[in-house]
Protein backbone atom coordinates (compact mmCIF):
# COMPACT_ATOMS: atom_id res chain seq x y z
CA UNK A 1 0.00 0.00 0.00
CA UNK A 2 1.26 3.44 -0.94
CA UNK A 3 0.40 6.36 1.37
CA UNK A 4 2.33 9.58 0.83
CA UNK A 5 1.73 13.21 0.12
CA UNK A 6 3.19 14.37 -3.11
CA UNK A 7 3.90 18.08 -3.68
CA UNK A 8 3.80 19.43 -7.21
CA UNK A 9 6.04 22.46 -7.27
CA UNK A 10 5.23 23.33 -10.84
CA UNK A 11 2.25 24.90 -12.40
CA UNK A 12 1.38 21.89 -14.54
CA UNK A 13 0.33 18.32 -13.71
CA UNK A 14 3.27 15.95 -12.99
CA UNK A 15 3.06 12.16 -13.52
CA UNK A 16 4.77 10.07 -10.86
CA UNK A 17 5.43 6.38 -11.65
CA UNK A 18 5.37 3.75 -8.96
CA UNK A 19 7.02 0.24 -9.77
CA UNK A 20 5.26 -2.56 -7.96
CA UNK A 21 6.77 -6.09 -7.49
CA UNK A 22 4.20 -8.76 -6.78
CA UNK A 23 5.23 -12.21 -5.25
CA UNK A 24 3.01 -15.21 -4.79
CA UNK A 25 3.81 -18.92 -4.52
CA UNK A 26 7.39 -18.18 -5.19
CA UNK A 27 6.36 -16.53 -8.30
CA UNK A 28 7.10 -12.73 -8.89
CA UNK A 29 5.81 -10.09 -11.28
CA UNK A 30 6.72 -6.49 -11.79
CA UNK A 31 4.15 -3.73 -12.74
CA UNK A 32 4.17 0.09 -12.86
CA UNK A 33 1.49 2.53 -11.56
CA UNK A 34 1.36 6.15 -12.82
CA UNK A 35 -0.02 8.86 -10.53
CA UNK A 36 -0.80 12.36 -11.86
CA UNK A 37 -0.12 15.09 -9.26
CA UNK A 38 -1.98 18.31 -10.19
CA UNK A 39 -0.48 21.66 -9.12
CA UNK A 40 -2.06 23.98 -6.53
CA UNK A 41 -3.31 26.98 -8.58
CA UNK A 42 -1.59 30.22 -7.53
CA UNK A 43 -2.14 33.82 -8.47
CA UNK A 44 0.57 34.96 -10.77
CA UNK A 45 -0.80 38.52 -10.74
CA UNK A 46 0.70 40.77 -8.10
CA UNK A 47 -0.70 40.65 -4.61
CA UNK A 48 0.68 44.12 -3.93
CA UNK A 49 -1.82 46.79 -5.06
CA UNK A 50 -1.49 50.51 -5.56
CA UNK A 51 -3.66 52.59 -3.20
CA UNK A 52 -6.75 54.04 -4.84
CA UNK A 53 -8.77 57.18 -4.18
CA UNK A 54 -12.26 57.05 -2.80
CA UNK A 55 -14.95 56.58 -5.45
CA UNK A 56 -12.31 55.62 -8.05
CA UNK A 57 -12.56 52.24 -9.81
CA UNK A 58 -10.38 49.51 -8.38
CA UNK A 59 -9.55 47.20 -11.28
CA UNK A 60 -7.77 43.87 -10.73
CA UNK A 61 -7.33 41.15 -13.35
CA UNK A 62 -6.29 37.83 -11.69
CA UNK A 63 -3.95 35.49 -13.54
CA UNK A 64 -2.47 32.07 -12.82
CA UNK A 65 0.23 30.00 -14.55
CA UNK A 66 -1.93 26.95 -14.07
CA UNK A 67 -3.94 26.43 -17.17
CA UNK A 68 -7.70 26.41 -16.77
CA UNK A 69 -7.73 28.11 -13.43
CA UNK A 70 -11.02 29.76 -12.46
CA UNK A 71 -11.33 32.64 -10.00
CA UNK A 72 -13.99 33.61 -7.47
CA UNK A 73 -13.66 36.51 -5.05
CA UNK A 74 -15.34 37.90 -1.99
CA UNK A 75 -15.07 41.18 -0.10
CA UNK A 76 -16.53 41.65 3.35
CA UNK A 77 -18.12 44.94 4.38
CA UNK A 78 -15.70 47.30 6.11
CA UNK A 79 -16.44 50.13 8.53
CA UNK A 80 -15.83 53.44 6.77
CA UNK A 81 -16.46 51.95 3.30
CA UNK A 82 -20.01 52.67 2.20
CA UNK A 83 -20.13 49.75 -0.25
CA UNK A 84 -21.93 46.60 0.90
CA UNK A 85 -20.05 43.27 0.93
CA UNK A 86 -19.33 42.02 -2.57
CA UNK A 87 -18.63 38.83 -4.52
CA UNK A 88 -17.71 38.08 -8.07
CA UNK A 89 -15.88 35.92 -10.57
CA UNK A 90 -12.78 36.74 -12.51
CA UNK A 91 -11.64 40.34 -12.49
CA UNK A 92 -12.53 42.95 -9.89
CA UNK A 93 -13.83 46.31 -11.11
CA UNK A 94 -15.63 48.40 -8.52
CA UNK A 95 -15.52 51.89 -7.06
CA UNK A 96 -15.01 51.88 -3.31
CA UNK A 97 -16.20 54.90 -1.33
CA UNK A 98 -14.28 55.91 1.77
CA UNK A 99 -16.60 57.95 3.98
CA UNK A 100 -13.92 58.84 6.54
CA UNK A 101 -11.03 61.28 6.58
CA UNK A 102 -8.39 58.52 6.85
CA UNK A 103 -7.10 55.69 4.61
CA UNK A 104 -8.93 52.32 4.99
CA UNK A 105 -7.60 48.87 4.04
CA UNK A 106 -9.98 46.54 2.19
CA UNK A 107 -9.30 42.75 1.94
CA UNK A 108 -10.20 40.69 -1.10
CA UNK A 109 -10.28 36.83 -0.86
CA UNK A 110 -9.73 34.88 -4.08
CA UNK A 111 -10.62 31.17 -4.46
CA UNK A 112 -8.69 29.59 -7.36
CA UNK A 113 -9.81 26.27 -8.87
CA UNK A 114 -7.95 24.08 -11.41
CA UNK A 115 -8.00 20.30 -12.09
CA UNK A 116 -10.29 19.86 -9.10
CA UNK A 117 -7.72 21.58 -6.94
CA UNK A 118 -8.56 24.79 -5.04
CA UNK A 119 -6.51 27.45 -3.35
CA UNK A 120 -7.41 30.55 -1.31
CA UNK A 121 -5.35 33.73 -1.49
CA UNK A 122 -5.85 37.19 0.05
CA UNK A 123 -4.66 40.62 -0.88
CA UNK A 124 -5.41 44.13 0.38
CA UNK A 125 -6.07 47.48 -1.26
CA UNK A 126 -5.84 50.83 0.50
CA UNK A 127 -8.71 53.25 -0.22
CA UNK A 128 -7.56 56.81 0.46
CA UNK A 129 -10.23 59.36 1.43
CA UNK A 130 -11.32 62.23 -0.81
CA UNK A 131 -10.18 65.25 1.24
CA UNK A 132 -13.01 67.67 2.06
CA UNK A 133 -13.22 71.04 3.75
CA UNK A 134 -14.21 70.99 7.37
CA UNK A 135 -14.31 74.81 7.38
CA UNK A 136 -17.59 76.42 6.34
CA UNK A 137 -18.45 76.77 2.66
CA UNK A 138 -20.44 79.97 3.35
CA UNK A 139 -18.31 82.29 5.48
CA UNK A 140 -19.75 85.50 6.89
CA UNK A 141 -20.05 88.41 4.50
CA UNK A 142 -17.64 91.34 4.58
CA UNK A 143 -17.87 94.94 3.45
CA UNK A 144 -16.40 96.17 0.21
CA UNK A 145 -12.74 97.15 0.48
CA UNK A 146 -12.39 95.08 3.66
CA UNK A 147 -10.16 91.97 3.83
CA UNK A 148 -11.93 88.67 3.16
CA UNK A 149 -9.98 86.18 5.27
CA UNK A 150 -10.71 82.46 5.03
CA UNK A 151 -8.60 79.65 6.55
CA UNK A 152 -9.53 76.34 4.85
CA UNK A 153 -9.21 73.18 6.98
CA UNK A 154 -9.55 69.43 6.35
CA UNK A 155 -9.62 66.44 8.69
CA UNK A 156 -7.43 64.45 6.28
CA UNK A 157 -3.82 64.58 7.42
CA UNK A 158 -1.36 66.10 4.99
CA UNK A 159 -3.96 67.86 2.85
CA UNK A 160 -2.60 70.66 0.67
CA UNK A 161 -4.88 73.39 -0.62
CA UNK A 162 -4.88 75.65 -3.67
CA UNK A 163 -7.59 78.07 -4.73
CA UNK A 164 -8.69 80.21 -7.63
CA UNK A 165 -11.24 83.01 -8.10
CA UNK A 166 -12.63 84.15 -11.44
CA UNK A 167 -13.33 87.79 -12.24
CA UNK A 168 -17.04 88.64 -11.97
CA UNK A 169 -19.21 91.66 -12.75
CA UNK A 170 -19.52 94.01 -9.78
CA UNK A 171 -16.11 93.13 -8.31
CA UNK A 172 -13.30 95.29 -9.66
CA UNK A 173 -10.52 92.84 -8.70
CA UNK A 174 -8.96 90.74 -11.44
CA UNK A 175 -9.05 86.94 -11.25
CA UNK A 176 -6.69 85.48 -8.64
CA UNK A 177 -5.11 82.21 -7.48
CA UNK A 178 -3.27 81.14 -4.36
CA UNK A 179 -2.36 78.40 -1.93
CA UNK A 180 -3.47 77.80 1.64
CA UNK A 181 -5.50 80.52 3.29
CA UNK A 182 -7.40 83.20 1.37
CA UNK A 183 -6.81 86.81 2.33
CA UNK A 184 -7.70 89.46 -0.20
CA UNK A 185 -9.54 92.77 -0.23
CA UNK A 186 -12.36 92.76 -2.76
CA UNK A 187 -14.04 95.92 -4.00
CA UNK A 188 -17.76 95.84 -4.77
CA UNK A 189 -18.40 98.56 -7.35
CA UNK A 190 -22.18 98.11 -7.43
CA UNK A 191 -25.08 98.82 -5.11
CA UNK A 192 -26.09 95.19 -4.57
CA UNK A 193 -24.37 92.33 -2.76
CA UNK A 194 -21.77 90.51 -4.90
CA UNK A 195 -21.09 86.78 -4.49
CA UNK A 196 -17.70 85.71 -5.88
CA UNK A 197 -16.84 82.00 -5.62
CA UNK A 198 -13.51 80.46 -4.71
CA UNK A 199 -12.72 77.07 -6.27
CA UNK A 200 -10.74 75.24 -3.58
CA UNK A 201 -8.70 72.17 -4.61
CA UNK A 202 -7.70 69.76 -1.81
CA UNK A 203 -5.00 67.11 -2.36
CA UNK A 204 -3.99 64.32 0.05
CA UNK A 205 -2.39 60.88 -0.54
CA UNK A 206 -2.54 61.52 -4.26
CA UNK A 207 -6.30 62.17 -4.16
CA UNK A 208 -7.83 65.49 -5.13
CA UNK A 209 -11.22 67.07 -4.54
CA UNK A 210 -12.67 70.45 -5.47
CA UNK A 211 -15.22 72.49 -3.53
CA UNK A 212 -16.66 75.96 -3.89
CA UNK A 213 -16.47 78.51 -1.08
CA UNK A 214 -19.08 81.24 -1.49
CA UNK A 215 -17.91 84.71 -0.45
CA UNK A 216 -20.33 87.58 0.21
CA UNK A 217 -19.11 91.12 -0.46
CA UNK A 218 -21.51 93.82 0.67
CA UNK A 219 -21.56 97.13 -1.24
CA UNK A 220 -20.56 100.46 0.26
CA UNK A 221 -23.88 102.32 0.60
CA UNK A 222 -23.84 105.70 -1.17
CA UNK A 223 -26.33 108.52 -1.61
CA UNK A 224 -28.18 108.36 -4.90
CA UNK A 225 -30.09 111.53 -4.00
CA UNK A 226 -27.18 113.88 -4.78
CA UNK A 227 -24.65 115.69 -2.64
CA UNK A 228 -26.07 119.21 -2.94
CA UNK A 229 -29.25 120.89 -1.78
CA UNK A 230 -30.58 123.89 -3.69
CA UNK A 231 -29.76 127.15 -1.88
CA UNK A 232 -32.47 128.40 0.45
CA UNK A 233 -33.26 131.81 1.84
CA UNK A 234 -32.90 132.55 5.51
CA UNK A 235 -36.04 131.51 7.34
CA UNK A 236 -37.19 129.19 4.54
CA UNK A 237 -37.32 125.46 5.27
CA UNK A 238 -34.48 123.31 3.87
CA UNK A 239 -35.66 119.90 2.66
CA UNK A 240 -33.61 116.88 1.55
CA UNK A 241 -34.86 113.33 0.96
CA UNK A 242 -32.03 110.84 1.42
CA UNK A 243 -31.95 107.82 -0.90
CA UNK A 244 -29.53 105.01 -1.75
CA UNK A 245 -29.60 102.28 -4.41
CA UNK A 246 -28.49 99.80 -1.73
CA UNK A 247 -31.59 98.17 -0.25
CA UNK A 248 -32.09 98.55 3.48
CA UNK A 249 -29.80 101.55 3.91
CA UNK A 250 -30.39 103.65 7.03
CA UNK A 251 -29.43 107.31 7.24
CA UNK A 252 -28.17 109.46 10.12
CA UNK A 253 -27.03 113.08 9.72
CA UNK A 254 -25.36 115.79 11.72
CA UNK A 255 -24.88 119.52 11.18
CA UNK A 256 -22.27 121.51 13.03
CA UNK A 257 -22.87 125.06 14.22
CA UNK A 258 -21.87 127.52 11.49
CA UNK A 259 -20.77 131.15 11.82
CA UNK A 260 -23.56 133.38 10.52
CA UNK A 261 -26.26 130.77 11.14
CA UNK A 262 -28.12 131.30 14.39
CA UNK A 263 -29.29 127.69 14.71
CA UNK A 264 -27.41 125.43 17.11
CA UNK A 265 -25.76 122.23 15.88
CA UNK A 266 -28.26 119.48 15.08
CA UNK A 267 -28.53 115.76 14.38
CA UNK A 268 -31.22 113.58 12.90
CA UNK A 269 -32.09 110.44 10.99
CA UNK A 270 -33.54 109.97 7.54
CA UNK A 271 -34.51 113.15 5.71
CA UNK A 272 -33.56 116.76 6.49
CA UNK A 273 -36.29 119.25 7.28
CA UNK A 274 -35.21 122.35 9.16
CA UNK A 275 -35.40 126.12 8.89
CA UNK A 276 -32.06 127.92 9.15
CA UNK A 277 -31.61 131.61 9.87
CA UNK A 278 -28.76 133.55 8.28
CA UNK A 279 -27.98 136.48 10.55
CA UNK A 280 -25.38 138.01 8.22
CA UNK A 281 -25.43 139.83 4.92
CA UNK A 282 -23.60 137.22 2.81
CA UNK A 283 -24.41 133.60 1.94
CA UNK A 284 -23.44 130.98 4.54
CA UNK A 285 -22.31 127.48 3.53
CA UNK A 286 -23.82 124.63 5.54
CA UNK A 287 -22.71 120.98 5.41
CA UNK A 288 -24.77 117.98 6.47
CA UNK A 289 -22.64 114.92 7.24
CA UNK A 290 -24.53 111.72 6.41
CA UNK A 291 -23.63 108.30 7.83
CA UNK A 292 -25.12 105.52 5.70
CA UNK A 293 -25.39 101.97 7.07
CA UNK A 294 -26.37 98.79 5.21
CA UNK A 295 -25.45 95.15 5.93
CA UNK A 296 -23.24 96.40 8.82
CA UNK A 297 -21.26 98.47 6.29
CA UNK A 298 -21.01 102.23 6.80
CA UNK A 299 -20.08 105.18 4.61
CA UNK A 300 -19.82 108.89 5.32
CA UNK A 301 -20.81 111.51 2.74
CA UNK A 302 -21.30 115.26 2.93
CA UNK A 303 -24.32 117.07 1.51
CA UNK A 304 -23.76 120.80 1.02
CA UNK A 305 -26.17 123.70 0.80
CA UNK A 306 -26.14 127.51 1.00
CA UNK A 307 -28.37 129.68 3.17
CA UNK A 308 -28.72 133.12 1.60
CA UNK A 309 -29.39 136.23 3.70
CA UNK A 310 -32.77 137.92 3.75
CA UNK A 311 -32.98 141.73 3.44
CA UNK A 312 -33.99 143.66 6.53
CA UNK A 313 -37.67 144.50 6.78
CA UNK A 314 -38.06 147.83 4.94
CA UNK A 315 -39.34 150.93 6.71
CA UNK A 316 -41.52 153.25 4.62
CA UNK A 317 -40.93 156.97 4.93
CA UNK A 318 -43.55 159.36 3.52
CA UNK A 319 -41.93 162.39 1.87
CA UNK A 320 -44.91 164.62 2.58
CA UNK A 321 -48.38 164.55 4.15
CA UNK A 322 -50.25 161.27 4.08
CA UNK A 323 -53.59 163.04 4.07
CA UNK A 324 -54.34 165.12 0.97
CA UNK A 325 -56.84 165.70 -1.79
CA UNK A 326 -57.44 163.24 -4.53
CA UNK A 327 -55.64 165.34 -7.12
CA UNK A 328 -52.47 165.23 -5.07
CA UNK A 329 -49.83 162.55 -4.39
CA UNK A 330 -47.02 161.74 -2.02
CA UNK A 331 -43.71 159.91 -2.45
CA UNK A 332 -43.22 156.85 -0.27
CA UNK A 333 -39.64 155.66 0.10
CA UNK A 334 -37.63 152.77 1.54
CA UNK A 335 -33.87 152.52 1.98
CA UNK A 336 -31.86 151.60 -1.10
CA UNK A 337 -30.42 148.06 -1.20
CA UNK A 338 -27.71 147.44 -3.78
CA UNK A 339 -28.92 145.32 -6.68
CA UNK A 340 -32.30 144.75 -5.08
CA UNK A 341 -35.76 144.72 -6.59
CA UNK A 342 -38.75 146.31 -4.87
CA UNK A 343 -42.45 145.55 -4.67
CA UNK A 344 -45.07 148.02 -3.51
CA UNK A 345 -48.55 146.97 -2.48
CA UNK A 346 -51.83 148.82 -1.99
CA UNK A 347 -54.14 146.90 0.31
CA UNK A 348 -52.16 143.75 -0.58
CA UNK A 349 -52.30 144.21 -4.38
CA UNK A 350 -48.98 144.59 -6.18
CA UNK A 351 -48.55 148.01 -7.78
CA UNK A 352 -45.82 146.81 -10.17
CA UNK A 353 -43.35 149.46 -9.00
CA UNK A 354 -39.71 148.31 -8.94
CA UNK A 355 -37.98 151.25 -7.26
CA UNK A 356 -37.20 152.27 -3.75
CA UNK A 357 -39.56 155.26 -4.19
CA UNK A 358 -43.23 155.02 -5.16
CA UNK A 359 -45.46 158.01 -5.94
CA UNK A 360 -48.95 157.25 -4.68
CA UNK A 361 -52.25 159.13 -4.81
CA UNK A 362 -54.87 156.54 -3.91
CA UNK A 363 -56.35 156.12 -0.49
CA UNK A 364 -55.42 152.89 1.36
CA UNK A 365 -52.67 151.00 3.19
CA UNK A 366 -49.28 150.86 1.46
CA UNK A 367 -46.64 148.19 2.18
CA UNK A 368 -43.36 147.18 0.54
CA UNK A 369 -40.91 144.27 0.29
CA UNK A 370 -37.32 144.13 -0.90
CA UNK A 371 -35.76 141.19 -2.81
CA UNK A 372 -31.96 140.98 -2.85
CA UNK A 373 -29.62 139.62 -5.53
CA UNK A 374 -29.86 136.12 -3.96
CA UNK A 375 -33.58 136.04 -4.66
CA UNK A 376 -34.53 136.36 -1.01
CA UNK A 377 -37.45 138.60 -0.09
CA UNK A 378 -37.74 140.58 3.10
CA UNK A 379 -40.66 140.53 5.46
CA UNK A 380 -43.42 142.95 4.54
CA UNK A 381 -43.05 146.45 5.93
CA UNK A 382 -45.45 148.06 8.33
CA UNK A 383 -48.29 149.76 6.47
CA UNK A 384 -48.47 153.48 5.80
CA UNK A 385 -52.07 154.73 5.46
CA UNK A 386 -52.98 157.35 2.89
CA UNK A 387 -56.27 159.24 3.15
CA UNK A 388 -57.77 161.55 0.50
CA UNK A 389 -60.72 163.26 2.17
CA UNK A 390 -61.21 166.03 -0.43
CA UNK A 391 -60.79 167.37 -3.91
CA UNK A 392 -58.46 170.29 -4.60
CA UNK A 393 -60.11 173.72 -4.67
CA UNK A 394 -62.41 175.78 -2.49
CA UNK A 395 -64.64 173.62 -0.45
CA UNK A 396 -66.88 174.46 2.42
CA UNK A 397 -65.90 178.06 3.28
CA UNK A 398 -67.97 178.96 6.33
CA UNK A 399 -70.78 181.52 6.06
CA UNK A 400 -70.96 182.45 9.75
CA UNK A 401 -68.45 182.55 12.61
CA UNK A 402 -68.83 183.66 16.24
CA UNK A 403 -65.60 185.08 17.74
CA UNK A 404 -66.96 185.21 21.32
CA UNK A 405 -64.14 183.26 22.99
CA UNK A 406 -66.17 180.14 23.72
CA UNK A 407 -63.67 177.94 21.87
CA UNK A 408 -66.12 177.09 19.10
CA UNK A 409 -66.14 178.71 15.67
CA UNK A 410 -64.11 181.62 17.02
CA UNK A 411 -62.01 182.07 13.86
CA UNK A 412 -62.46 181.90 10.14
CA UNK A 413 -59.84 180.17 7.93
CA UNK A 414 -59.30 179.86 4.23
CA UNK A 415 -60.58 176.37 3.42
CA UNK A 416 -58.82 175.47 0.18
CA UNK A 417 -58.02 171.76 -0.07
CA UNK A 418 -55.02 170.89 -2.19
CA UNK A 419 -53.45 174.35 -1.97
CA UNK A 420 -49.66 174.19 -1.73
CA UNK A 421 -49.15 177.94 -1.49
CA UNK A 422 -51.47 180.66 -0.17
CA UNK A 423 -51.07 183.87 -2.11
CA UNK A 424 -53.66 185.88 -0.26
CA UNK A 425 -56.52 185.51 2.21
CA UNK A 426 -58.20 188.92 2.78
CA UNK A 427 -61.37 190.06 4.58
CA UNK A 428 -63.15 193.40 3.99
CA UNK A 429 -65.97 195.22 5.79
CA UNK A 430 -69.00 196.55 4.01
CA UNK A 431 -67.16 199.83 3.31
CA UNK A 432 -64.34 198.03 1.50
CA UNK A 433 -61.83 198.48 4.24
CA UNK A 434 -59.41 195.49 4.66
CA UNK A 435 -59.67 194.22 8.20
CA UNK A 436 -57.49 191.07 7.77
CA UNK A 437 -55.04 189.47 5.37
CA UNK A 438 -52.45 186.66 5.46
CA UNK A 439 -50.28 184.49 3.18
CA UNK A 440 -49.81 181.72 5.72
CA UNK A 441 -51.97 178.61 5.47
CA UNK A 442 -53.68 177.82 8.74
CA UNK A 443 -53.77 181.45 9.91
CA UNK A 444 -57.32 182.72 10.46
CA UNK A 445 -59.22 185.95 11.41
CA UNK A 446 -60.36 186.31 15.00
CA UNK A 447 -62.90 189.13 14.27
CA UNK A 448 -60.56 191.94 15.38
CA UNK A 449 -58.88 194.74 13.57
CA UNK A 450 -56.00 196.52 15.29
CA UNK A 451 -56.99 194.61 18.44
CA UNK A 452 -60.47 196.02 18.31
CA UNK A 453 -63.45 193.74 18.05
CA UNK A 454 -65.35 194.35 14.90
CA UNK A 455 -69.09 194.70 14.95
CA UNK A 456 -71.44 191.93 13.99
CA UNK A 457 -72.04 192.37 10.31
CA UNK A 458 -71.52 190.84 6.90
CA UNK A 459 -67.88 190.78 5.72
CA UNK A 460 -66.38 189.90 2.35
CA UNK A 461 -63.41 187.53 1.82
CA UNK A 462 -61.03 186.91 -1.05
CA UNK A 463 -58.74 183.88 -1.39
CA UNK A 464 -55.99 183.21 -3.93
CA UNK A 465 -53.68 180.15 -3.92
CA UNK A 466 -51.61 177.75 -6.05
CA UNK A 467 -52.33 173.99 -6.12
CA UNK A 468 -49.82 171.12 -6.44
CA UNK A 469 -49.94 171.33 -10.23
CA UNK A 470 -49.10 175.03 -10.28
CA UNK A 471 -52.62 176.21 -11.07
CA UNK A 472 -53.80 179.51 -9.50
CA UNK A 473 -57.11 179.26 -7.74
CA UNK A 474 -59.16 182.39 -6.82
CA UNK A 475 -62.47 182.79 -5.06
CA UNK A 476 -64.42 185.34 -3.07
CA UNK A 477 -67.51 185.27 -0.92
CA UNK A 478 -69.09 186.66 2.20
CA UNK A 479 -69.31 185.62 5.81
CA UNK A 480 -71.44 186.89 8.74
CA UNK A 481 -69.76 187.80 12.00
CA UNK A 482 -72.25 187.13 14.81
CA UNK A 483 -71.87 187.94 18.49
Q: Tens of pLDDT along 452-477? A: 999 999 999 999 988 777 788 888 88
In words, the CATH class of domain 52-128 is mainly beta
**Boundaries of every domain in the chain:** 52-128, 142-218, 232-308, 317-390, 400-481
Extended beta strands in 391-432, E state: 400-401, 419-428
Q: Judge whether residue 393 has pLDDT over 70.
A: no
pLDDT of residue 4: 87
Backbone angles phi, psi at 392, to 5 degrees: -65, 145
φ, ψ at 149 (rounded to 5°):
-110, 125
- The tens digit of pLDDT for each residue in 160-174 reads 999 999 999 999 999
Residue 353 CB-density burial (10 A; 0-12 exposed, 13-18 middle, 19+ buried): middle
What predicted TM-score, i.e. pTM, was given to this entire model? Answer: 0.70
Q: Does the domain at residues 317-390 carry the CATH identifier 3.40.630.30?
A: no
Q: Which tops the pLDDT comparison, 126 or 31?
A: 126
Q: Rounded distance, CA 341 to CA 356, Å?
A: 8
Task: Share the mean pLDDT of the chain.
Answer: 93
400-481: what fold?
Immunoglobulin-like (2.60.40)
323 or 343: which leads in pLDDT: 343
User: How confident is the model at residue 465, as a pLDDT?
Assistant: 87
Q: What is the pLDDT of residue 392?
A: 58
Are 52-128 and 317-390 equal in CATH topology? Answer: yes
pLDDT at residue 390 greater than cutoff 80: no
Q: Which of 40, 45, 66 is nearest to 119 (CA)?
A: 40
Q: In this structure, is the dihedral angle defined by the CA atoms of residues 85, 88, 90 and 93, taken in order, positive or negative?
A: negative
Amino acid sequence: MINETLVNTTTSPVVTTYTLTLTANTCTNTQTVNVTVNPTPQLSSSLVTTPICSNTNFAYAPTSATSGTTFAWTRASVAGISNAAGTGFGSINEALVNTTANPITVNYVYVLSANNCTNIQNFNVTVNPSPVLTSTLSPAGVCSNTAFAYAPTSATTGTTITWSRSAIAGISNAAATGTGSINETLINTGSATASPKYLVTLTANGCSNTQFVQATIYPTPTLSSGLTIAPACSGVETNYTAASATAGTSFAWSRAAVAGISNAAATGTGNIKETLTNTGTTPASVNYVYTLTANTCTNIQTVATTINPKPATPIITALGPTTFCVEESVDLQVATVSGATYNWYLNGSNLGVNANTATVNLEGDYTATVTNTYGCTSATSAAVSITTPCSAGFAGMPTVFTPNGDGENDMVYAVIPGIKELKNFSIYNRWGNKVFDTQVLGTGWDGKFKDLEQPADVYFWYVEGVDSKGNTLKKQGKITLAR
